[in-house]
Amino acid sequence: MVRTILDNFCVKSGIFCPRCEEKLRKGQISDLDVKVIRTITEMEKENTPLQDVTYHKTVEAGDIMALMVDKRGVDAFMASGAKLAKNLGDRMGKRVRVLSYGGDERNFLEELFSPFGILTINTIWLPDGSRETKVILSGHRPRRSSPIDYEVVKKLARELKGLTLRIEFEN
């Protein structure tokens, strides 16, 4: 069974115990998280690798849904050529990016910007005391359709890791 902060019985029944209801009320878990957990639980009946997934969080931005799972969970979703991630996306009506929870900032950004390669990551300290993370990607900025919407990536980085991104390309 997929591991989450919700009780297995509550996920399967759809009726929350007082403890799980409190987690939902406090914002530790959202309605979107509950929908995703239920969908993954349904999918794991046919896909046994999903039973080893530890689910943490899901955030939506634009047409993308970023799914935060443990490292083993990323491997489970990507082992079949991302077929499980596509299947989840089809069921949820969004494109899915599977990202590993925890880890360092660089690994998070590499997963987020995949398939583009990151040349450099710098921290910019602004006069007001805030900071931005400058990500320099290899190549030219794509002129036509790109596999990545950079505004969506910025929003995901802000919501998932609290990063304010500045994206540039190295020619």
What's the pLDDT score for residue 60? 92
Residue 33 vs residues 28, 50, 144: alpha-carbon distances, Å: 10, 16, 33
pTM over 0.85: no
In the predicted model, is pLDDT for residue 106 greater than 60?
yes
In the predicted model, is pLDDT for residue 118 greater than 80?
yes
What confidence tier does 157 reach under pLDDT thresholds 50, 70, 90?
A: very high
Q: β-strand 131-138 against 118-125: which pairing, if any?
A: antiparallel
Query: If DSSP codes are grouped into helix, strand and coil, which group holds residue 99?
Result: strand
Contact 76, 53 (CB under 8 A): yes
105-170 has which CATH code?
3.30.70.1350
Residue 81 vs residues 26, 74, 77, 145: alpha-carbon distances, Å: 36, 11, 8, 23
Domains 8-100 and 105-170 share a fold: no
Residue ranges per domain, the chain?
8-100, 105-170
Fold of the 8-100 domain: GMP Synthetase; Chain A, domain 3 (3.30.300)
Distance in angstroms (rounded) separating the CA atoms of residues 112 and 66: 9
Q: β-strand 165-170 against 131-138: which pairing, if any?
A: parallel
Distance in angstroms (rounded) separating the CA atoms of residues 163 and 13: 37
| Mean pLDDT rounded to a whole number for the chain | 87
pLDDT, one tens digit per residue, over 142-154 is: 666 566 788 889 9
